[in-house]
């Protein structure tokens, strides 16, 4: 399937962007309900229904301060066959969240292919067979949000006309607006509900620690790294051990993982 490149237009009627962003801003759990209602209304005014997922790796539904499930009671995904938020397999099998692992900009997609601002060879290789059955829609505008610590959010806008398969016009008009609103909403939601710290704050790795971890991340042993960097075996072990202490890791694999989450290792590791 080819990734089609599309041209975006500045939508009319978005002069009050800051006002719209304020309406979906979340600074504490008590803001979630009203922000979600505003997001749902903004989408509906443009003929769309929004579906929001803050973390494609999580089985927990998004909720407000009172435990109300947002995708059910506010975004109104309640009909039989539409309760996607109950199907924990979608993140693995639906092409919508899967594509968000490979793309960070908005795109729209149907059974014919992906449409976005630039070619993406990874999306070209995604299987779109049985698209409607696997995605629970005929077409969708999708907004990926890549958050700190490797968390990926995937949100979709579906036409209120459920038979509509071409969203080129809606994407051209609204995708930039939708992207800003979703990023503001999701980032606020995650920050408001984040209670665990899996990585120490203000963790700074040295140049040598990062260098050792980059080689370790591609499978090099300490002995091989020592030969590459022309340092002793003990020195390499010390740098990797010291990085693990800074990252509060229990083993080498977790040290590499946490360093990757913080962006120390780059995309090639």
Phi-psi category of 12—alpha, beta or left, where left has phi over 0 and alpha has psi -120 to 50? Answer: beta
Please state whether beta strands 152-159 and 107-110 pair in parallel, antiparallel, or not at all (unpaired).
unpaired
Say whether domain 207-261 belongs to CATH 1.10.10.10. yes
Enumerate residue ranges in the chain where pLDDT < 50. Answer: 1, 14, 269
Q: Which of 60, 85, 72 is nearest to 196 (CA)?
A: 60
Residue 6 confidence (pLDDT): 67
Digit-coded pLDDT (tens) for 79-98: 877 888 888 777 778 999 99
Does residue 211 come out as left (phi exceeding 0), alpha (psi in the -120 to 50 range) or beta?
alpha
| Angstrom distances, CA of residue 130 to CA of 17, 114, 195 | 37, 15, 39
pLDDT digits (tens, 9 = 90+) for 101-144: 999 999 999 999 999 989 999 999 999 999 999 999 999 999 99
Asked if the 3-193 domain carries CATH number 3.30.230.10, the reply is no
Closest-CA residue to 116 (of 43, 162, 167, 165): 167
- The Cα angle at residue 102 between residues 252 and 216, in degrees rounded to 5: 20
Dihedrals φ, ψ of 145, to 5°? -135, 115
Spans of all domains in the chain: 3-193, 207-261
pLDDT score at 1: 47
Q: Give the pLDDT confidence score for residue 93 in this predicted structure.
A: 86
pTM for the predicted model, two decimal places: 0.84
């Amino acid at each position: 399937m080819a990734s089609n490149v599309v041209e975006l237009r500045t939508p009319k009627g978005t002069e009050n962007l800051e006002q719209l962003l304020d309406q979906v801003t979340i600074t504490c759990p008590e803001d979630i309900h009203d922000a979600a209602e505003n997001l749902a209304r903004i989408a509906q005014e443009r003929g769309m229904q929004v579906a929001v997922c803050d973390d494609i790796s999580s089985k927990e539904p998004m909720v407000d301060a009172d435990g109300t499930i947002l995708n059910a009671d506010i975004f109104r995904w309640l009909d039989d066959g539409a309760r996607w938020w109950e199907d924990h397999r979608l993140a693995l099998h639906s092409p919508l969240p899967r594509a968000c692992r490979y793309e960070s900009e908005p795109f729209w997609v149907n059974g014919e292919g992906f449409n976005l601002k630039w070619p993406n060879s990874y999306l070209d290789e995604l299987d779109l067979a049985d698209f409607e059955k696997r995605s629970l829609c005929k077409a969708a505008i999708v907004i990926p949000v890549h958050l700190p610590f490797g968390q990926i959010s995937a949100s979709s806008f579906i036409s209120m006309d459920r038979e509509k398969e071409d969203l080129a016009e809606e994407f051209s008009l609204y995708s930039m607006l939708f992207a800003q609103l979703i990023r503001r909403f999701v980032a606020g939601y995650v920050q408001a509900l984040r209670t665990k710290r899996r990585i120490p704050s203000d963790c700074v790795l040295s140049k040598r620690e990062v260098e050792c971890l980059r080689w370790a991340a591609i499978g090099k042993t300490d002995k091989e790294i020592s030969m590459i960097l022309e340092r002793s075996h003990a020195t390499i072990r010390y740098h990797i051990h010291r990085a693990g202490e800074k990252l509060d890791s229990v083993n080498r694999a977790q040290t590499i993982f946490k360093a990757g989450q913080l962006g120390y290792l780059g995309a090639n590791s």
